[in-house]
Amino acid sequence: MSVSFALEQIVRRLDDSSTLLLYHSRTAEHDYGEAGHLWRDRRGTSFIRRFAVPMVDSFPRIGAIVADQGRHLRLAQPKAGEAETAIARILGMHDVVVQALSEVIGLTDQAQHLAAAATGRAHEGAAKAETILAGLSALGLPPAPEA
């Protein structure tokens, strides 16, 4: 599942939660108001003042927080999609780089083998040249001038 899709699902759930919160806030205000009036003495007034009113007053703040979260996630969703696309592109480039690197390593190995072969042949050529110079010297011929 992509991050963008997951954010979309979360936004939908937040929207649903916001709707349920609004419903429950209206229901709680009504139910707790009725419950507070069941007592005819100070208990009812105290219940409403200390419990019902603060709880009912908190619903709009909670609803605003849920709405803010939804807005932020809606703003983040396109950026998450862009990031996923960029990551996929980078991973695709990574595969190309790994393939190119393995080819470079193979070519480097071949170059090292060729260099070793060339060095061996150069040593053989130098040894043959030494042998020829020694033979010429033994015949009394002057050695070739050095370059």
Find all residues with CB under 8 Å of 42, minimum gap 6, and list them: none
| Nearest-angstrom CA–CA distance, 100 and 90 | 15
**pLDDT at position 113:** 94
Measured CA to CA, the distance from residue 76 to residue 8 in angstroms comes to 10
User: CB-hemisphere CA count at 13 Å for 41?
Assistant: 1
pTM over 0.75: no
At 56 the three-state DSSP class reads helix
Q: For each of the chain's 147 residues, which pLDDT tens digit applies? A: 688 888 889 989 998 988 888 888 888 878 887 877 788 888 888 888 888 888 888 888 898 899 899 899 989 888 888 999 999 999 889 989 999 999 999 999 999 999 999 999 999 999 998 898 888 888 887 766 665
Start-to-end CA distance of the chain, whole Å, equals 73
